[in-house]
Each structure stands twice: as C-alpha cells, then as structure tokens.
Structure 1
Amino acid sequence: MLRWLQNVLRLGFKELASLSSDVVMMALIAYVFTFAVYTESTAMRTDVNNALVAVVDADQSALSARIKDALQPPFFQPPREIDRSEVDRLLDKGYFTFILEIPPKLEADLIANQGPSIQINVDATAVSQAAVGTAYIQQIIARETAAFLKAEGAGSVIPIEPVVRAMFNQNLEAMRFSASMGVINNITILSIILVGAAVMRERERGTIEHLLVMPVRSSEIAVAKIWANALVVLLAAAFSLRVVVNTALGIPIVGSVELFLVGAAVYLFAVTSLGIMLATIANSMPQFSLLSIPVFVLMFLLSGSFAPFESMPPLLQDIMYISPSTHFVRFAQAVLFRGAGLDVAWMDLSIMALLGAAFLATALSRFRIMLARQT
C-alpha cells in the first residue's frame, strides 16, 4: 500500500509538471476562474437594471407624481413623459421596455373607491427583464398608492398591507447568484477537460507507452491524474471565490468557504473520475471534446444552477439524481448562500462520494482495457 501511495504521489507531481508546461491550458484555467466569472456576473444580468420607462400621465396629480418619482435607478432610468399617441410607435421601435398609462382622474377615483386601473405596456422581447420589471412596477404602484391613501386618511380602503422579507439576498441581486454559480459551473468544465486532456495527451504523444514499461499499475496512473488535476481546479476555485467574487465583485460569502472546498474536493473526485471514463471511450482529443459537450449541457441545464431543480419534470429529476452536479449545486447553494453547516449538507456530500466511487470503479476498469490495447 505504501508503494502504491508513493507511485501515485510521484506520478501526480509528473502530471503537475506536464500541466504547468502547457501554456494554453494554464491560460485557460486563469481566464475561466477570473475574467470569465467577472464578466458573466456583471454583463449577463437577468434582473432589472437601468430599464427604459415612459409614462403617459393624463392625471397630473400628486399620486401620479409619486408613482413617477418612485421609478428610480438602478432599476429604472428616470421616466420620460410622452403623449398617448406615441405609445405604439415607441414600443414598435423598441425605445422603451415599459410604458405606464395613468388615466384621467386616477387620484379622485381612488379616493372615491371607484377602482381605477393603470395600464402597463411591456416590450416582452426581453423576456426576463419584462417579467421581473413588471412585478417591480406593480409593487411600486401598490406601495405608493397605499402610502398616498394613508396620508389622505383613507388607509382603510386597503385593509391588508403585505410585508415581503427576502432571505439570503435582500436586494434580490442576480449577480450574487450568478457569480458563485459561475465558479461552480467552471469547476465542472475544467475538471473534465483537464483530466480528459491529460489522458488524451499521453495517448497522442505516445508517452503512455513509457508508463506501461514502468513498474506502475493502471490504478496508480489514473488516481495520480485525478488528484493532480483536481488539486489545480480546487486551488483556482478557492482563488476565484476569495479574490474575484468576494473582493473584486464585492459579494459577501455567507457560509464557510472551507466547508465548500471540502465539498468541492469530493465533487472533483467524482467528476474527474467521470472525465477519465469519457477519455477511455474516445480515441482522440476531437472525439473527447464532442463526447464531453452533451455531458456539459446535461450537467449545466439540469442540475439546478440555471433554473430551479424542482421546476423540471419528475422523470428528469429522477434521472439527474445520478449526476454529481445536481448534488454539488444543492450543496454549494446551501453552504455559500444560506450558511448551512455539515449537519444540513452531509447527505449531498455522501451521495457525491458514492457516485465518485462508482465512477472511479468504472473508469479504472475502462482504463485497464485502454492500456491493454496500447500494448
């Protein structure tokens, strides 16, 4: 056993030396965990930010003024008043995302309890911003209307005043979610690419024959590639969380980074084993790349990192439980966003370890077959 560990350690150092000499791969690692995370978080905004809004104010009352004044940055640009005849033309040309039509005698009808209505015209080609922005405007109108009626001594018209508490992300900023999810998704990409490229590089350069004549086992070769490449990704992820997410983007990390890294190490064990398995199926780097694409797509789209896992059809949910990415995303969200401890996250951690053991067993079996064919 001691001999096995020594060989795994030495082969791992060889793998690290080989990776450090690969300028393109090192540049890819640096880019993915720094610039890519930063731009994905700041440029790809799914919440309402600096939206264009116009108002047709046919009332010109104190209430309509309150509503217009409440449409403020950073969610909305200062509203521009337009004429009713311009609404269709401006929407057709895409000049505004939201146009509010305030009817005549809005304030008087509201005080008289006549049930007036405000029309919100929305350019829904920007689907995400349109849906979220419409909800924002509705909340603004309801809030300002309630405040106006209370000031006028007619607060009894609205008997219920809802109070919304946003937990874990009080300002409802999408960047808090997308930054950490970017790091999590990049862990999946890089771990599979690195370990798969390591195997394919050995095969294409012919250096795997050199390993075969050495007194080492196939398990030692595979495990060395797993721990060496997983260590690089783990260190890059830790750097990205602390420097890019926490410092550069100014996003607070609620939970324990140390616990997250423990979970990431277990996940890397599982996903690098999967990468070894995929590399044994392909015969060249282009084949490995094409084989990895559908794996990436499934692990990204169906793991809960882009959309709520519970919103998927039950059959897909059952299938994705065998993917370590599903459990890692749930683990990471619990730890990083909600500050959960090991008493809450241990189940997903255990499942990732079990899946990793299954992938490793399959990968080692396939790896032995691949090496046998090389002889």
Structure 2
Amino acid sequence: MKARLFRILRLGIKELYSLRADPVLVILIVYTFTIAVYSVSTGAKFEVENAAVGIVDEDRSMLSARIRDALLAPFFKPPELIDAAEIDRAMNAGRFVFVVEIPPRFEEDAIAGRHPTIQIDVDATAMSQAGNGAGYIQSIIGQEVATALPDQASTAPVQLVVRALFNPNLNSAWFTAVMQVVNNITLLAIILTGAALIREREHGTIEHLLVMPVTPMEIMAAKIWANGLVIVVAATLSLTLVVERLLAVPIAGSVPLFVGATVLYLFSVTALGILIATVATTMGQFGLIVIPVIVVMYLLSGSTTPLESMPDWLRMVMQLSPSTHFVALAQAILYRGAGLSIIWPQLGALTAIGAAFFALAALRFRKALLAAG
C-alpha cells in the first residue's frame, strides 16, 4: 500500500509539471477564478439599474409631477416626457423599458376618491428587469399618492412586515459571485482531468505509462488528486480574495468546511471528466461532448434557476448529478452558515455518486489503456 501511494504521488507530481508546461490551461485557470468571477458578478445583475422610463403626463398636476420626480437614479434614468402617440413607436425601437401613462384629471379624481388608473407599459424582453422594475414603479406611485393625499390613503387590514435574510439589500452580486466560483469548479474539474488524459494520448505518452509498473487505477487517481488540488487552491483563493475582499461579499459559513466539501465533490466530477475523455479520441471530440454536459449541469443544478421551478421528473433526474448536491451545500454553508449537521445528506449523496462515477470511469479507463496497448 505504501508503494502504491508513493507511485500515485509521483504520477500526480508529473501531472502538475505537465499542467505548468501548458500555458493555455494555466491562463484559463487564472482567468476563470479571477476576471470571470469579477466581471460576471459586477456585470450580470438582476436588479433594475439605469432603466429608461417614458412619462405620458396628460394631467400636468402637482401629483403627476411628484410621481415623475420620484423615479430616481440609480434604478431609473431621468424620465422623459413623451406624447401618447409616441408610445408604440418608442417601445418598438427599444427607447424605453417602462412607459407610465398618467390620465387627465388624475389628481382631481384622486382627491375626489374616484380611484383613477395609471397604466404602466413594460418591455418584458428582459423578464427579471421588467418584473422587478414594474414592482418598483407601483410601489413608488403608491407611496407618493399616499404621502400627497393622506386623507385618501386606505388603511390595509393587515400590516405586512418583510425581512430579507442572508442578503438584506437583495444585492444580486452576493449570489452571482459565489455561484460563479461554484460553477467554475465544475467547469475546470471536467476540463482539466479530461484534457490531461487526451494530452497523454495525443503526445504518445500513454504508451510510456503502459510499460511502467503502475495500474490504471493509480494513473487515474494521480490525475484526480493533482488536478483537484489545483482547482481547490484556485477556488479557495478566488473565494477569499476576489469574492470576499474585492467584491465585499460576506461569507457567512466556514470556508474550511466548504473546502472539504469541494474535495469530496471533485472526487466525483473529475472522474466524470476522465469518463468523458475515455469516450473521445481527440481534444476536439472531447470539447464537443463536454459542452452539453457542462451546460446541463450549469443551468439545472440550482445555481441559476431554482430546482422548485423545474418539472418533477427533471428534478428527480438532476438528483443524479453531483453538481445539484454541491450547489445546495455550497449555498447552505456560504450563505446561511450551515454546519456539518445540516449538509450531511448532500455529502452522503456526493459520496455515493462519486463512488459510482469513479468505478465506471476506472472500468472505461482500463479498457482504454488496454486498447492503446
């Protein structure tokens, strides 16, 4: 056993030297956990920001002017007064995301208690911005009318108090930054391990391994620990330096616990990369197979869309993916400060899925080595 562990260690060190000699992969690793995390977190926002608003003010009253002045930056650009005849043409041209139509005698009807109607036209091309922005505008109009006409404000039978836990400012960058690191772990784990095997085959060094006193299991284990180590170090540095310090995203839970869960996750996802590499014969084929696998794991793991919104059959199928359980435990640890007593079901699922992937990958890898020999 000691000799086997020593061989795995030496083979893993060889993998690290091979990775260092490949500048493209080194640049990819650095970019993925630095620039990619920062740019996506600061650029891909779900909040309404700098939305263009048109105002059709047919009342020209103090109340309508108050509503217009309440649409402030950074949520909205300065509102632009337009005529009702311009609405369709302006929205078709994409000039405005929202158009607020204030009818004639709006203030007079509001004072008289006749419940006038304001129409909000929304460009729902960008659904999240449209939905959130429409909610903002409705809230702003309601507040301004209630402040200007307190006698007409109806008293709600129930007072609703909302508390936002774990992200009190509802800042999407807090979510996007952490999920970008999690998704990049999956991306690089599959690419690095698969590329390592394809590189051996394309460079002809796979034959050298066959004549060495090593087993296919040892070769695969060396590739897994070497590439997994690189990813764990890069992800930890990205989480602490880019996410926590540069982007000022608070990490609620234990980073060492997250790192330990990441190591367990990499055991399964790196085996998946080797499994895909045994099917492909060239780097081009490997890339074509990897793309749909990564897209499915990225979109359906719960990191971009909630699992609850998926059909029941699809949600059950995604339970077989290790990324689904890793995203769940990463969110629990890093957002909600969960401990081992909460995330142990996800850890157990990762262990079972990882063992299945590793066994299947080892079987395929052994057959691939025998075919190459």
Q: TM-score, normalised by structure 1?
A: 0.94
Residues 124-152 of structure 1, C-alpha deviation per residue, up to 9 Å, x if partnerless? 23333222211221222223333344xx3
Native 8 Å contact 1:63 1:107 kept in 2: yes
Q: 2: distance between equivalents of 1:216 and 1:222? A: 10
User: Per-residue deviation at 1:33?
Assistant: 0.9
Residues 28-86 of structure 1, C-alpha deviation per residue, up to 9 Å, x if partnerless? 11111111111112222232111011222233444334422332222111222333333
Paired residue secondary structure (1:101): strand
Structure 1 residues 139-154: aligned runs within 5 Å: 139-149=139-149, 152-154=150-152
User: Relative to structure 2, which stretch is displaced further, 43-52 or 302-311?
Assistant: 43-52
Equivalent position of 2:209 in the other structure = 211
Paired residue secondary structure (1:195): helix
User: Per-residue deviation at 1:370?
Assistant: 1.2
Unpaired runs of 5+ in structure 2? Answer: none
Structure 1 residues 345 and 62: CA distance shift in structure 2, 3 A: farther
Equivalent position of 2:254 in the other structure = 256
User: Relative to structure 2, which stretch is displaced further, 333-342 or 138-147?
Assistant: 138-147
Residues 100-124 of structure 1, C-alpha deviation per residue, up to 9 Å, x if partnerless? 1112333332343322111101122
Paired residue secondary structure (1:100): strand
Equivalent position of 1:372 in the other structure = 370
Equivalent position of 1:3 in the other structure = 3
- The residue identity in structure 2 corresponding to 1:44 is A
Match for residue 350 of structure 1 among 348, 351, 359? 348
Native 8 Å contact 1:166 1:172 kept in 2: yes
Equivalent position of 1:40 in the other structure = 40
User: Relative to structure 2, which stretch is displaced further, 289-298 or 123-132?
Assistant: 123-132
Paired residue secondary structure (2:347): helix
Equivalent position of 1:108 in the other structure = 108
Paired residue secondary structure (2:161): coil
Equivalent position of 1:124 in the other structure = 124
User: Relative to structure 2, which stretch is displaced further, 70-79 or 353-362?
Assistant: 70-79
User: Per-residue deviation at 1:294?
Assistant: 1.6
Q: 2: distance between equivalents of 1:113 and 1:158? A: 16
Equivalent position of 1:295 in the other structure = 293
Structure 1 residues 56 and 129: CA distance shift in structure 2, 3 A: same
Paired residue secondary structure (1:99): strand
Q: 1: distance between equivalents of 2:184 and 2:339? A: 23
Q: 2: distance between equivalents of 1:361 and 1:62? A: 73
- The residue identity in structure 2 corresponding to 1:99 is V
Structure 1 residues 49 and 40: CA distance shift in structure 2, 3 A: same
User: Relative to structure 2, which stretch is displaced further, 56-65 or 217-226?
Assistant: 56-65
Q: 2: distance between equivalents of 1:105 and 1:257? A: 60
Unpaired runs of 5+ in structure 1? Answer: none
User: Per-residue deviation at 1:349?
Assistant: 1.4
Q: 2: distance between equivalents of 1:157 and 1:65? A: 25
Equivalent position of 2:329 in the other structure = 331
- The residue identity in structure 1 corresponding to 2:130 is A
Q: 1: distance between equivalents of 2:102 and 2:251? A: 43
User: Per-residue deviation at 1:177?
Assistant: 1.4
Q: 2: distance between equivalents of 1:145 and 1:353? A: 57
Q: 1: distance between equivalents of 2:162 and 2:205? A: 62
Aligned residues between the structures:
373
- The residue identity in structure 2 corresponding to 1:22 is D
Equivalent position of 1:220 in the other structure = 218
Native 8 Å contact 2:113 2:152 kept in 1: no
Paired residue secondary structure (1:280): helix
Structure 1 residues 44 and 227: CA distance shift in structure 2, 3 A: same
Matched, 1:18 2:39: no
Q: 1: distance between equivalents of 2:337 and 2:305? A: 21
Please, what is the CA RMSD of the aligned residues? 1.8
Residues 241-278 of structure 1, C-alpha deviation per residue, up to 9 Å, x if partnerless? 11222222222222222222111111111100111111
Equivalent position of 1:198 in the other structure = 196
User: Relative to structure 2, which stretch is displaced further, 319-328 or 81-90?
Assistant: 81-90
Structure 1 residues 338 and 69: CA distance shift in structure 2, 3 A: farther
Match for residue 362 of structure 1 among 357, 360, 363? 360
Structure 1 residues 158 and 116: CA distance shift in structure 2, 3 A: farther
Matched, 1:313 2:315: no
Paired residue secondary structure (1:50): coil
Native 8 Å contact 1:54 1:81 kept in 2: yes
Q: TM-score, normalised by structure 2?
A: 0.95
Equivalent position of 2:88 in the other structure = 88
Q: 1: distance between equivalents of 2:292 and 2:178? A: 23
Structure 1 residues 35 and 145: CA distance shift in structure 2, 3 A: same
Native 8 Å contact 1:146 1:158 kept in 2: no
- The residue identity in structure 2 corresponding to 1:133 is G
